[in-house]
Structures are given as C-alpha cells and as structure tokens.
Amino acid sequence: MVLLLLLSAIIPLTQTTLQTTFILGATRHCCYNSEQLERKPGREMVTFLLMCNLAMWAMNTSETSRADAHPAQLNLYGIWTWTIISMPLALICV
C-alpha cells in the first residue's frame, strides 16, 4: 500500500517535469533560414504534442483537485482540513 502511494506521488511529478521540459524546449526552437521559414519542419508534430500536453494537464488538474482523489490524505487529515489544505494547491495549478 505504501509503495503504491509513493508511486502515485512520484509518477505525476515525473510527468510534470517531462511536460515542462518539453514546453521549454518547444519555445526555444526557431527558423534559421528562409527555407525553414517556408517549410516549418515539425510544426504539426509540436502543435499536436502541445495540444495533447494541454489536454492532459487539464484532466489531471480537474481530477486531482477533488478531495476524494486522495483517500489516504483524506483519512489522515479529515474532510475539512484536507479541503483547506488542498484548495490553495488546486488554485495554483489552474
């Protein structure tokens, strides 16, 4: 049970790190000559990946902002305390 809780905390952290790295990498690319400016290689792929990234972020934010998404923390703190603790975190993510 503890291993599952640990993995469920580490995997979103890894996903967020990879998403942030991808977004920062995508914003640094630019065209260096006129041929690249006309062809724009990889534009469709980067746009698709950014849209998928945005959709995954929206789903994760809406799912994890609910109090019942974290039963271990809910049992430890109680419903009102966990709501007070998690609400500012949910607002920061939005």
Segments making up each domain of the chain, as ranges: 22-93
pLDDT at 80: 77
Say if residue 92's pLDDT is above 60.
no
- The confidence score (pLDDT) of residue 91 equals 55
Report how far apart, in Å, the C-alpha atoms of 5 and of each of 46, 53, 61 are. Answer: 33, 24, 18
Q: In this predicted model, which residue has the larger pLDDT, 83 or 39? A: 39
Contact 28, 53 (CB under 8 A): no
pLDDT at 69: 64
Place of tokens 């469920």: 8
For residues 61-67, give the mean pLDDT: 62
Residue 66: pLDDT band by 50, 70, 90 thresholds? low
Rounded alpha-carbon distances, angstroms, from residue 86 to 15, 77, 83: 20, 11, 5
